[in-house]
Amino acid sequence: MANLRSIDMLVVDDLFDMHGGYVLNFSDRTFATFFAEELNIDIDEPRYSAQGSSKAKRLRYFLQMVDKATAARTLTSLWEYRELMRERGQEEKVKNAHGRFLQLIAKLEGTGAKPTDITPKPAFDRAKFAELLASLMELANLAPNQRGLWRVQRTRCVQMA
C-alpha cells in the first residue's frame, strides 16, 4: 500500500486539478484509455470505485491501494501528461508544482532525504576568495621591480631578473 498521507493527497489534488471529481482534462473514456495505454491498468475495475465513481475518487483510492512503485509510476505518467497540457498554453496554477511533485515521488520511492540530513556544498569558498584578494592587493602595493617583470617566450613565461 502506498499509504499516502492526507497532506500528500492534497498535493496530488492540487497538482492534477482533482477538485470537483475531475482529473486534469480527462473524460471518463480518455481517463480509462490513458491508464490502459500508459500503465496497462484497468482503472474502470469495480474495486477502484469503492469510495465513489468519479475519476478523482477512483484515482485517490487506486493510489492508496497499490504499492509505492506503482503509485510513483502512475503519478509520473500523469505528471508527463500534465506538462504536455501546460506546453499547449495552460498556465501554472500551483506554486512550486515541480518541487512538490519531486518531493512526493521521492517519498514514494524512498529516495527522499530529510532537509536536516543534507549539507549543501557551497558554490564559492569565501574564505579562500578573501585570502586570494588580500594577496593580490599586497602585490598591487609593491613597486614594479619587487613584483617582478615577466615576458612571454613562445609557450612559457619566464621571469626576468
DSSP one-letter string for 110-135: T-PPPGGG--PPPSS-HHHHHHHHHH
C-beta separation of 74 from 66 below 8 A: yes
C-beta separation of 2 from 67 below 8 A: yes
Out of 100, 117, 134, a domain closes at: 117
Gap between the Cα atoms of 75 and 83, Å rounded: 12
User: Is the domain of 85 the same as that of 20?
Assistant: yes
Gap between the Cα atoms of 33 and 66, Å rounded: 19
pLDDT value, residue 117? 38
pLDDT value, residue 3? 67
Out of 82, 98, 117, a domain closes at: 117
Examine the pLDDT at 155 and tell me if it is beyond 70: no
> How many independent structural domains does the chain possess?
2
User: Is the domain of 108 the same as that of 145?
Assistant: no
User: Is the domain of 38 the same as that of 96?
Assistant: yes
pLDDT in tens, 92-137: 777 888 888 888 888 888 865 444 333 344 445 778 888 888 887 8
**Burial, 14: exposed, middle or buried (Cβ in 10 Å; 0-12, 13-18, 19+)?**
middle
Reported in sequence order, the residue ranges of the chain that DSSP labels E, i.e. its strands, are 149-153, 156-160
| Enclosing domain of residue 45 | 6-117
Q: Tell me, yes or no, whether 12 lies in a domain.
A: yes
User: Is the domain of 92 the same as that of 133?
Assistant: no
User: Is the domain of 49 the same as that of 70?
Assistant: yes
User: Is the domain of 52 the same as that of 109?
Assistant: yes
Examine the pLDDT at 158 and tell me if it is beyond 60: no
- Average pLDDT of span 68-87: 90
User: Is the domain of 90 the same as that of 153?
Assistant: no
User: Is the domain of 73 the same as that of 151?
Assistant: no
User: Is the domain of 14 the same as that of 85?
Assistant: yes
Q: Tell me, yes or no, whether 1 lies in a domain.
A: no
User: Is the domain of 105 the same as that of 30?
Assistant: yes
pLDDT in tens, 11-64: 899 888 888 889 988 898 999 899 888 888 888 888 888 888 899 999 999 888
Verdict on whether the full-model pTM lies above 0.75? no
User: Is the domain of 36 the same as that of 101?
Assistant: yes
User: Is the domain of 65 the same as that of 95?
Assistant: yes
Q: Give the H or E element holding residue 82.
A: helix 68-87
pLDDT value, residue 107? 86
pLDDT band at 159 (very low <50, low <70, confident <90, very high): low
By residue count, the chain amounts to 161
